[in-house]
Structure 1
Amino acid sequence: MLDATLTPPRLPAAPGVGYKAQHFNALRDDPGPVKWIEVHAENYMGDGGRPHAQLRALRDQFSVSVHGVGLSIGGEQPLDQDHLTRLAHLLDWLEPASFSEHLAWSTHGAEFLDDLLPLPYTDATLARVAEHIDQVQTRLGRRLLLENPSSYLAFSQSTWSETDFLAELVRRTGCGLLLDVNNVFISATNLDYTPQGYVDAYPIDAVGEIHVGGHDHDHDDQGAPLLIDSHGRKTAEPVWDLLRHTLQRTGPAPVLVEWDNDVPEWPILQAEAERAALALQSATAGS
C-alpha cells in the first residue's frame, strides 16, 4: 500500500477542462471559472518543444492533472517499464496535483491497441490490477486515481460488482478514484441499471476527481439504445443531473469537462465549465 506521506496536493474543488493547444491564448486570457487543466500524459513524453513550453506556462496559472491512457493497468502482461520511466520523468518535472489512469487494458504482446478495453471482475483480475497499481504508485511516488470505465457489455465470469471491485482496490492499494459520471451514465444505459444507484454504491470517500463529457447515441443489433463515449459534444442533460446527484454525496470536488474530439472554440468549452461551476455552487449551498 502507498505511503500516505507521498500523496500529492489535491486539485481545487472547481471546474477544470481538458487542455487543447488551440485554446492556449484564450485559456490564459479569459479562463472564466476554470482553475485547473488536464493533459494526457502520452502527449508530453517527448523532449521539450512548444508543447512543453506551453504546459510550463500554464502550470504557473493553473493546477494540472495528468491523465494516462497507455499503462494498460488491467492487462495480463507485465507493465511496460520503459513507458513507466517516461511517465515518471514527466511527472517529476511537471509536479502535477493529480495523476490518473483507467481501469482497462490496451496491450497484447508488443501491440498497443487504440482502445481502452473492459475487464472481467474476478479475484484473479483484482489481484493483477492491485499488483500493477502498487508497482505504479511505488515507481511514481504518488497516489494514482483509477477511473471507472464506460462499458458496452458485461462478462459472465464477473463475481464482483464494479463498485465493490473498485472499493477493494482502494482498500488493498491505497489508490484514489476518478469518478467519471458520463461513463456511469453510458454503462448504466448500455447494461440496464440505474446510474444513481451506481453512484450511491460507489466508494465516494476515495474520489479525487469527477469527470463529465459528451457521448453519442446508437442502437445495438436488437434495437436497444447504445451510448458511445465519444468526448465530441456537449455534456448531455441527464449527465448534468447525475453530476448534481453525485455532488450531493461528495460535496464540492474537482470537476473536469472532457472534450477531445471535434474540439470547439473556447467560448463553447468555457460555457460548459460555467455549467460545472453552477453545479458546484449548488453543492456548496446544499452542504
Structure 2
Amino acid sequence: MASAPAAGIGFKPQHADDALRCRAEALWLEVHPENYLVDGGPRLALLDALAARFPLSLHGVSLSLAAAAPPDATHLARLRRLIDRVQPVLVSEHLAWSSWDGRHLPDLLPFPRSHEALARVVANVSRTQDVLGRRIALENPAHYLPLDGHDWSETDFLAELVRRSGCGLLLDINNVLVSAHNLGGDARRYVDAFPLEAVTEIHLAGHTVDAGLGDALWIDSHDAAVSEEAWALYRHAIARGGPRPTLIERDGNVPAFAVLLAERERAQRLLAAQAIAA
C-alpha cells in the first residue's frame, strides 16, 4: 500500500487487460483468495502479474471464523502458501460462519454475540493468525433480521475481539447502512461507537432493495454504484478515524473498468482531502 492510505478496486478477471494497463497513482487491487488456491495455470499466472504491478489485498469468504469448529487446516495451509507467494499488504475475512458440523452453506451467516461466541471467534482468529503468520482484519456483517441472545453490542464485541486476539477490523460502510435500515438502527451512531483505531481497511459498495419487500428490506448486493448515503457515512468515518485504505466493491452488474476507476477516484479525492485536513 502507498505510504498515504489510498483507494483500490475489487479485481474482476474481465478487467485484466484494463487493470494491467492502468497507471492510476497508488491504485491497489483486492481479490478473493479462494479463486486462486490452485497449484498453477493461467489463473495463478494472472495473479502473479497483478502482484508484480499492484499492492494486493486478499479478502476471504470461507474461513467460517464464527463456527464451532476451528478453521480447516488444509485451507489455512493453502492460504498461507498463497500469501507467501504474492505478499499481500492486507488480509481480511468476515465476522460470520458458513459451515457447521460438516455442513457448508453458500452464505455469510450471523450469530448471537454471546460470551461463548466471543471466546470461539477469538480462538479461531488467533489460530488463523498463527498459521498465516500475520494479522488479519475482520469485517462487520450485514444484518437482515434481528437475533436474540446477544451479550454484547456489535461494536463492543468487535472491540473486545481486537483486544483479545490482536486482529484488525475492516469497516464495511454499506453493511452499516443496510443493517441500520433493516433493524432500525442509527448508522452514524454505529460508526461513532466503532473501534476505528483498529480499522485497517474500509469497503464501499452499493445495495438494492428486496424484490418482494421493496424498500422495507435492503440487500447488500454489491451490484450497484456506491450510494450517496454511503459516501456521506464514509466521509463521517474518515473524519473521525482518519484516512484508511478504501476499496470499491462490485460483484454483480459489473461495469466497465473505467466506471469503477471513477468511483475509486472519488474515494481517492476524499482520502487526500481528509489527509490535508488532519
TM-score, normalised with respect to structure 1: 0.92
Residue 113 of structure 1: CA displacement?
Answer: 0.6
C-alpha distance in 2 between matches for 1:39 and 1:144: 15
The answer for the alignment partner of 2:265 in structure 1 is: 274
Structure 2, unpaired ranges of 5+: none
- Residues 167/97 of structure 1: CA separation in 2 closer, same or farther (3 Å cut): same
The answer for the alignment partner of 1:172 in structure 2 is: 164
Residue 224 of structure 1: CA displacement?
Answer: 6.3
Matches within 5 A, 1:94-243: 94-218=86-210, 225-243=216-234
C-alpha distance in 2 between matches for 1:32 and 1:182: 25
The answer for the alignment partner of 1:5 in structure 2 is: none
Residue 203 of structure 2 aligns to a residue in which SS? strand
Residue 60 of structure 1 aligns to a residue in which SS? helix
Structure 1, unpaired ranges of 5+: 1-8
For residues 153-172 of structure 1, the C-alpha deviation after alignment (integer angstroms, 9 at most, x for no partner) is 22221010000000000000
- Residues 202/254 of structure 1: CA separation in 2 closer, same or farther (3 Å cut): same
The answer for the alignment partner of 1:29 in structure 2 is: 21
- Residues 268/60 of structure 1: CA separation in 2 closer, same or farther (3 Å cut): same
C-alpha distance in 1 between matches for 2:247 and 2:169: 14
The answer for the alignment partner of 1:70 in structure 2 is: 62
C-alpha distance in 2 between matches for 1:47 and 1:129: 30
Is the CA contact 1:118–1:149 (under 8 Å) kept in the aligned structure 2?
A: yes
C-alpha distance in 1 between matches for 2:41 and 2:103: 28
Task: State the AA in 2 paired with 1:227.
Answer: W
Task: Indicate the larger mover: 152-161 or 208-217.
Answer: 152-161
Matches within 5 A, 1:21-60: 21-33=13-25, 35-60=27-52
Matches within 5 A, 1:254-265: 254-265=245-256
Query: Is 1:246 the counterpart of 2:237 in the alignment?
Result: yes
Residue 181 of structure 1: CA displacement?
Answer: 0.6
**CA root-mean-square deviation:** 1.7
Identical-residue share of aligned pairs (%) = 47
Residue 112 of structure 2 aligns to a residue in which SS? coil
For residues 113-134 of structure 1, the C-alpha deviation after alignment (integer angstroms, 9 at most, x for no partner) is 1000001111000000000011
C-alpha distance in 2 between matches for 1:10 and 1:77: 37
Kindly tell me the number of residue pairs found equivalent between the two proteins: 278
C-alpha distance in 1 between matches for 2:132 and 2:46: 24
Residue 153 of structure 1 aligns to a residue in which SS? coil
C-alpha distance in 2 between matches for 1:94 and 1:13: 20
